[in-house]
Amino acid sequence: MITRPLDLASKLRPEPRNFDGLFFVNAGLLVLFFSLFGSRFVLAPGIGVDFRLPTAVGAEANARRTTHTIDVRSSGQILTEDGWRTLPELKEWLRVQALASKSPVLLVRADGDKATVSILTEISSAATPLGFEILIAADEPARSGAAKGAPR
């Protein structure tokens, strides 16, 4: 019985013994492509599923419409509407946003109990002189005995 009637394997070129220059040119072009044309959102991590707001009684009673929103991770990362920012970059971003709004209100969504008070204090001390009103986001704690989603 003939299992390989055309003997195609013998007609193929042998594999190269080492990497030639084309491999390095390819890798260089990929790096150039991502550095020039890539967005900061392409390879940046997003807010994970473990992001939880802190709970506070009366959180829904103090709800107001805000003009700007930032998310603060427990690791100190700050996510604005325009992407990830460090604290010095956030101060510059707040300055630009304060000039664009008549009465800016900043909503800070901190990562539960894990966000440090020092980061929130620095954000507040940077935003308040620029005319921002600061609101810290929180969830209303669940009532005991009430089912989730039940009317209150």
Q: Encoding tokens for residue 70?
A: 């930032």
Assess if CATH 3.30.420 describes domain 68-136: yes
Residue of 58 and 32 predicted with greater confidence = 32
In single-letter form, the type of residue at position 74 comes to S
The alpha carbon of 108 is separated from its chain's Cα centroid by a whole number of angstroms, namely 14
Mean pLDDT of the chain: 79
In single-letter form, the type of residue at position 36 comes to L
pTM of the predicted model as reported, rounded to 2 decimal places = 0.58
At 109, give phi and psi (nearest 5°). Answer: -100, 100
C-alpha 23/C-alpha 44 separation (Å) is: 27
Q: Say if residue 129's pLDDT is above 90.
A: yes
Tell me the average pLDDT across 39-44: 54
Tell me the average pLDDT across 31-46: 67
